[in-house]
Chains A and B, each alone.
Chain A
Amino acid sequence: MSTDQLAGRPTRRPRPSSPAAGTRGRPAGGRLSLRQRRAGAFYLFAGPWLLGFLALTAYPLGYALWLSFTNSDGLSPHVSFVGLANYREVFTDPDTMASLGRTGLFTAITVPLSIIGGLLLAVLVNQPIRARGLFRTLLYLPAVVPPVGAALTFKLIFDRDSGAVNGFLDLLHINGVPWLVDPYARWVLVALTMWAVGNVMIISLAGLQDIPKELHEAARVDGASPWQSFTRITLPLLSPVIFFQVVTGIIGALQSFAPLLIAINPTPAGVTSVPESNYFYMIDVFAQYFANGRYGYASAMLWVLFLVIILITFLLFRLSRGAVFYSVEPESAQTKRRTIGGA
């Protein structure tokens, strides 16, 4: 650490020849101008993102907040302020609440399933076996299929008459069902989501490979069973990775609009062809927005979703204290040391 500083400082001091310091007539090599120049360099690099964030994220976010207090329909020039009316409606409309409930159920089913499934797959492809690189690649492959392609594929597989699933059931002398309508459509969606479990697998795998081998070897020497070794060493050391996936998984599932792609008739009115059991919150947003032109109400719905996500994330971080085990020192100390100048 101290050698870094010793090596760093003197090399930069005698650089009064640098154009920024020279041409603007600041005290050459003075501490202030050096610091300013360093800060300038940071803002030069972070600037494009920062500008983009302000214009393309922060501004639309604020705009959405404003819209949510109005009755805007996007067309009529007469937009009036309606206060909290939209929000009141979100929480009192039984249809909206039902769609939120269905989305919650879908999240509660798919997030644990994909995390457990992805972790098991990661453990499996982390075994010392032949061609494991090939196994990893092929199991990950479905995760790179574009959503529309995956939805079309699953529509073909679960087709009532020409689909492979009912064909397979027929071989077992079981009568097939119309999978793409209520009440079965929900399970098609779960299957579609699980097909991309390779995403969880690959991140868990990276986590598994970070666990020092010596820990497992020491445990084996001490007479631990593989199961003990897994629950006492692997799981605790993997807990930050699992926690990260729980958080991102929930956020992703709550925003899912996959049913729209399965219904695949995404004309403005097409949202109505989504089976009821798959009529998710986001589908309701699209319906309000496209079919009903209720920009104000749809914006309020999205802001409610945003607040729900913030609340869930906050609760998860709260609950995870003690359950998530961080073995490494907080990163910031390390980061500071490695930045230019290390100010």
Chain B
Amino acid sequence: MVLSRRTATYMLLVACLVLFLSPFGWLAVTALKAPAELRALPIHWWPHQPDLANFQDALTAFDYLGYARNSLTISVTYSVLVTFASAWAGFGFARLEAPGKRLIFGVLMSTMMLPAVITLIPTYLMFAKLHLLNTYMPWVLWGLCGAPYLIFLFRQFFVNMPKELEEAAIVDGCGTIRIFARIFLPQSWPVIATSLILSFAWTWGDYIAPALLLDDDHTTLAVKLATGYVNAHGEPLSNLVAAGAVMYVLPVLALFLIMQRGFVAGVATSGLK
């Protein structure tokens, strides 16, 4: 009985795994197919002559690396800034007291309910007036302010840290900023890892903001990838799309796999307590 239940669990898990991972497999297979093979009937489940030329072509069909650099610039800038700024604000909400704090925290929490798209049009008009279109300044500004969800994550983590830590520091004459920088920040690496992954993935994957605020030269890979691979008739070149998508998705997956221990710890320790 026990054995059969365990076997059933494994079978279910493997079935789920096949279902969830097969899209990655198909993406890889398509990326290795020659154009003629794409139209083969019945379908080739494995390319008869796997060819890496698609990757070469995907890189040169447009300035792939240039757009990747744009994406990377925005994502790294934003994720580093927003992680620090969110830790900074999260510390304030977790360990400091002031009149009005409850109200401000209420506002912070309710902004998580706010549909981001509602501010879309005015944000565009505002940045146009400030002459910040086609620059990466909007991401710097967004980063410096912190993100409510990440602030909440850091707050939850900092709230649960023992009081003795800062009491000892106060006795030693540490100021609030030093307590934050020397004691709380170094302890919060699981949340820092979570925050870096999440914010990097958001910006790397974001479609709306770059499509709206950046022109074709300054835009990100996410936007360019969606339109870049078409033939003269406007039909999509599926094998190049697949090759381009593989190279676009891999960095995020790699980042996640490298940092996932910290990520899971971050969600588990601070996500919902």
In whole Å, how far is B202's beta carbon from the nearest beta carbon of chain A?
9
Q: Which residues of B contact A313 (CB under 8 A)?
A: 113
Pick from B38-46, B48-56, B60-68, B185-193 the stretch touching chain A. Answer: B38-46
**Docked-complex contact B115 and A305, CB < 8 angstroms:** yes
Q: Which residue of A lies closest to B6 (CB)?
A: A129
Given that A41-B176, A49-B146, A124-B16 are known contacts, is A255 also in contact with B97, CB under 8 Å in the complex? no
Q: Which residue of B lies closest to A19 (CB)?
A: B175
Q: Which residues of B contact A149 (CB under 8 A)?
A: 205, 225, 245, 248-249, 252
Given that A207-B272, A251-B115 are known contacts, is A139 also in contact with B238, CB under 8 Å in the complex? no
A299 close to chain B: CB less than 8 A: yes
Question: Complex formed: what's the CA distance from A112 to B26 in Å?
Answer: 28
**Docked-complex contact A141 and B121, CB < 8 angstroms:** no
Partner of B98, one of A12, A38, A48: A38
Q: List A19-40 residues whose CB lies under 8 Å from chain B.
A: 38-40
In whole Å, how far is B8's beta carbon from the nearest beta carbon of chain A?
10
B196 close to chain A: CB less than 8 A: no
In whole Å, how far is A127's beta carbon from the nearest beta carbon of chain B?
5
**Docked-complex contact B20 and A195, CB < 8 angstroms:** yes
Contact with B along A174-214 (1 / 0, CB 8 A): 00000000000000000000010010001101110110000
Q: Which residue of A lies closest to B155 (CB)?
A: A335
Question: Complex formed: what's the CA distance from A305 to B115 in Å?
Answer: 8
Q: Which residues of A contact B20 (CB under 8 A)?
A: 138-139, 141-142, 195, 198
A135 close to chain B: CB less than 8 A: yes
**Docked-complex contact A309 and B113, CB < 8 angstroms:** yes
**Docked-complex contact B268 and A209, CB < 8 angstroms:** yes
A83 close to chain B: CB less than 8 A: no
Query: Which residues does A use to contact B, with CB under 8 Å?
Result: 4, 7-8, 11-12, 15, 18, 38-46, 48-53, 55-57, 59-61, 63-64, 67, 74, 121, 124-125, 127, 129, 135-139, 141-142, 144-149, 151-157, 159, 161-162, 164, 166-167, 170, 195, 198, 202-203, 205-207, 209-210, 240-241, 244, 247, 251, 254-255, 257, 261, 264-267, 282, 285, 289, 295, 298-299, 302-303, 305-306, 309-310, 313, 331, 334-343
Top 9 closest pairs, chain A to chain B, by CB: A52-B145, A45-B92, A146-B205, A167-B43, A42-B98, A63-B122, A39-B98, A60-B119, A60-B122
- In addition to A60-B126, A266-B223, 12 A-B residue pairs with Cβ atoms within 8 Å of each other are A41-B92, A46-B104, A57-B119, A59-B122, A61-B119, A63-B126, A146-B252, A153-B24, A167-B45, A205-B268, A266-B211, A282-B117
> Can you list 14 A-B pairs with a CB-CB distance of less than 8 A?
A38-B98, A39-B99, A49-B146, A49-B151, A53-B107, A61-B114, A147-B222, A149-B205, A264-B236, A265-B227, A289-B121, A339-B94, A340-B95, A340-B176
